């Protein structure tokens, strides 16, 4: 079955991408599978300047998921472009860069730096991190800010597709999706993590130094699926679905509600070959459920009358 | 596809050691050797996640490679929580996903006195260290532990090298352990030796300060909590000597004492 996807002009071999922050810079996974068998990879969130991130401990395992408060630790965009990107097979593997900044202007600057980089296929804009004080979740909860950031990035991104990554921690996801579309985004991705918390009754203390973190993994899948469903029906631009996908069947569920592509996040920790396996198995799953093609299957959810 | 760096292998044997009580059980887990073409080095670790684990346990669990040959990979672990409890329930023939060998390793210089300092399960990598060292007569092990000595697989070590141990049964014992580490580290500084250490963070902190105080070269293996084990999630970081966060799973787990800070 032909699995290729045209996402806002971006050609993907298949709809399987890896989620930012769960796949490093891709290089870490080279010894566990063929990177070029994926639709693309989305690298760890990058900022203009390097960031140390939050103090330890910053991860905790929770039922069917995990909490993280990494706080966008990253080496900065320059180091990425100089040391990491050249080592990736970017000519045959779409490398999408995830952006983090504290305001619309800074997002614009970051986009400008990346706009002329041949090896960067598209920009994914993180306006939804629950683990940082500035430019994080509060930002992504304000539709007017979402529009402003989308405009700033789009204006500076050259001809690179711009994807706005939304937070599920909002009352109305459809409004946020439309806000991104209004700002000129070429696509949206969702969901980022759900704001959550874990405590230890013996130490009577939070499990994360940051107290609050972002919940991800299979536990969030129903929320993610609902958000994708609502977003798909709210905008015309394509939607990338993610949140708790850990099998090819899970990926198919997101495609069924209308996602153009999907991302594999926390499941990369179940074992480092998870994304490769899902990319391999997805065509078999679609055949099993009698899909004629990816296009025929996508969005073919039958709703109750 | 994933070559042999991530594979499902069979459990050969799961053996509780000594007469450990359920709350301090120590288990020797023997697995099929995953056939790593590049081999492995002492101090490296693996991530293990049984195929049967449902999604309520997300992460694999990191364990030092205790020993390995062409057929068998041996892991030694203590039951401390949900994951290790379920690992202890594995039986012969069960399949586990295993990825590795991961991380950095201990150096094994020849013709130099080497002091191995192990705290609790920190003993695990030293089984392989002793077995793979050409001159075991240059090695000595100091072992601080809580469960009784017979719960650890010390036979293979004590046959070849001098072993000294101190058991912690009450809080005051910790002071004796700290004092003894200090003395030993000083002794190895005088001998221009090397110290290799593995154990809980407070134990490593003691080793680190003593080694810096006496100016002796020391390598420490850290046991931070890990999600991916491959450098991707940034959940396992420690502070290096310049105050920057660095991944324990890929830059470590074995660090030079002077390269990290280990502050609270
Ligand atoms: C590189 C590396 C090598 C390691 N090698 C070994 C080894 O050879 N043998 C071994 O037994 N362990 C080793 N560990 C530690 C081991 O990974 C943990 O004990 C294990 O992950 C705990 O899993 P769990 O699900 O049982 O505990 P969880 O359910 O995750 O935690 C349960 C409780 O146990 C506590 N806990 C977690 N880790 C430890 C620990 N190490 N000691 C005491 N309490 C702990 C937690 O704080 C928590 O309170 C190593 C860790 C690393 C990073
Ligand atoms: C450890 C970790 C780090 C993350 N870092 C980022 C990041 O830098 N930028 C970003 O947009 N999302 C980040 N995320 C969110 C994921 O990309 C994803 O949106 C979320 O985990 C939900 O998907 P999942 O359930 O499949 O993991 C991170 C998630 C985790 C678990
Ligand atoms: S465990 Fe994920 S980066 Fe070290």
Cα distance from A63 to chain B (closest Cα, Å)? 5
Closest CA to A107 of A98, A117, A119, A116: A98
Cα distance from A59 to chain B (closest Cα, Å)? 6
Around ligand 3, the residues with Cβ closer than 6 Å are B 226-229, 231-236, 247-249
What does the pLDDT look like over B72-100, one tens digit per residue? Answer: 999 999 999 999 999 999 999 999 999 99
Tokens matching residue A95: 């490398």
> Are A54 and A70 spatial neighbours (Cβ–Cβ below 8 Å)?
yes
Residues A33, B45: Cα–Cα separation, whole Å: 20
Q: Which residues of A touch B3 (CB under 8 A)?
A: 31-32
Query: A235 pLDDT exceeds 70?
Result: yes
The complex's ipTM?
0.95
What does the pLDDT look like over A263-296, one tens digit per residue? Answer: 999 999 999 999 999 999 999 999 999 999 999 9
Q: Which of B49, B55, B228 sits opposite A246 (nearest CB)?
A: B55
Q: Is A227 a catalytic residue?
A: no
Task: Name the percent of chain A lying above pLDDT 70.
Answer: 99
β-pairing verdict for A194-197 and A199-200: unpaired
CB spacing of B227 vs A59 below 8 angstroms:
yes
The rounded radius of gyration (Å) of the Cα atoms in chain B is: 18
Strands (E), A35-114: 40-42, 59-62, 65-68, 95-99
What does the pLDDT look like over B38-47, one tens digit per residue? Answer: 899 999 999 9
> Are A181 and A151 spatial neighbours (Cβ–Cβ below 8 Å)?
no
What does the pLDDT look like over B184-227, one tens digit per residue? Answer: 999 999 999 999 999 999 999 999 999 999 999 999 999 999 99
Q: Which of A33, A66, A280 sits opposite B227 (nearest CB)?
A: A66
**CA quadruple B84, B89, B91, B96: dihedral positive or negative?**
negative
pLDDT of residue B264: 67
A203 DSSP assignment: T
| pTM (two decimals) | 0.96
CB spacing of B56 vs A63 below 8 angstroms:
yes
Closest CA to A19 of A57, A56, A45: A45
Burial, B97: exposed, middle or buried (Cβ in 10 Å; 0-12, 13-18, 19+)? buried
Query: Dihedral through CA B36, CA B38, CA B39, CA B45, nearest 10?
Result: -80
Residues B231, B104: Cα–Cα separation, whole Å: 12
Q: Which residues of B touch A31 (CB under 8 A)?
A: 3, 5
pLDDT of residue B1: 42
Residues A271, B5: Cα–Cα separation, whole Å: 11
Query: A137 pLDDT exceeds 60?
Result: yes
Query: A157 pLDDT exceeds 60?
Result: yes
Q: Is the peptide bond before A272 cis (omega within 30 degrees of 0)?
A: no
């Amino acid at each position: 079955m032909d699995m290729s996807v045209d996402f806002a002009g971006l050609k993907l071999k298949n709809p399987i991408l890896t989620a930012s922050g769960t796949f490093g810079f891709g290089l870490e996974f080279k010894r566990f599978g063929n990177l070029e068998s994926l639709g693309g990879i989305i690298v760890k969130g990058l900022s203009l300047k390097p960031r140390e991130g939050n103090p330890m401990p910053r991860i905790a395992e929770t039922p069917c998921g995990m909490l993280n408060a990494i706080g966008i630790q990253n080496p900065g965009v320059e180091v990425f472009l100089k040391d990491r990107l050249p080592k990736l097979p970017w000519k045959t593997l779409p490398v999408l860069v995830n952006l983090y900044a504290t305001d619309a202007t800074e997002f614009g600057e970051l986009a400008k730096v990346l706009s002329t980089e041949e090896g960067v296929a598209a920009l994914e804009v993180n306006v939804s991190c629950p683990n940082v004080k500035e430019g994080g979740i509060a930002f992504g909860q304000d539709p007017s800010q979402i529009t402003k950031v989308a405009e700033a990035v789009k204006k500076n991104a050259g001809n690179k597709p711009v994807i706005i990554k939304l937070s599920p921690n909002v009352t109305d996801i459809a409004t946020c999706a439309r806000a991104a579309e209004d700002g000129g985004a070429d696509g949206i991705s969702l969901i980022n993590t759900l704001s959550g918390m874990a405590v230890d009754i013996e130490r009577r203390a939070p499990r994360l130094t940051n107290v609050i973190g972002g919940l991800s993994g299979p536990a969030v899948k129903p929320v993610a699926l609902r958000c994708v469903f609502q977003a798909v029906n709210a905008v015309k631009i394509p939607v990338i679905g993610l949140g708790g996908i850990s099998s090819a069947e899970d990926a198919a569920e997101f495609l069924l509600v209308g996602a153009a592509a999907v991302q594999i996040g926390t499941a990369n920790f179940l074992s480092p070959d998870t994304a490769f396996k899902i990319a391999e198995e997805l065509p078999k799953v679609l055949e099993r459920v009698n899909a004629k093609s990816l296009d025929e299957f996508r969005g073919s959810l039958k709703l109750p009358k | 596809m994933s070559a042999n760096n991530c594979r499902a292998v069979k459990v050969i044997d799961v053996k509780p050691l000594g007469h450990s009580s359920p709350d301090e059980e120590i288990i020797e887990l023997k697995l099929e050797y995953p056939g790593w073409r590049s081999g492995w080095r002492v101090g490296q670790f693996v991530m293990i996640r049984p195929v049967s684990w449902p999604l309520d346990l997300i992460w694999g669990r990191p364990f030092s490679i205790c020993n390995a040959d062409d057929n068998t990979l041996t892991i030694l672990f203590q039951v401390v929580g949900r994951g290790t409890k379920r690992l202890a329930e594995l039986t012969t023939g069960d399949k586990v996903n295993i990825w590795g060998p991961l991380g950095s390793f201990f150096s094994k210089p020849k013709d130099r006195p080497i002091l191995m300092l192990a705290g609790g399960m920190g003993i695990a990598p030293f089984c392989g260290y002793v077995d793979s060292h050409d001159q075991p007569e240059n090695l000595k092990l100091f072992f601080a532990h809580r469960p009784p000595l017979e719960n650890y697989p010390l036979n293979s070590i004590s046959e070849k090298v001098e072993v000294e141990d101190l058991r912690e049964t009450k809080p005051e014992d910790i002071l004796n352990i700290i004092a003894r580490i200090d003395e030993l580290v000083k002794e190895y500084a005088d001998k221009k030796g090397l110290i290799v250490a593995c154990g809980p963070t407070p134990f490593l902190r003691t080793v680190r300060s003593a080694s810096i105080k006496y100016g002796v070269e020391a390598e420490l293996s850290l046991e931070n909590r890990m999600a991916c084990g491959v450098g991707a999630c940034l959940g396992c970081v420690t502070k290096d000597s310049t105050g920057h966060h660095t991944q324990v799973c890929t830059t470590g787990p074995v660090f030079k004492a002077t390269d990290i800070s280990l502050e609270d």
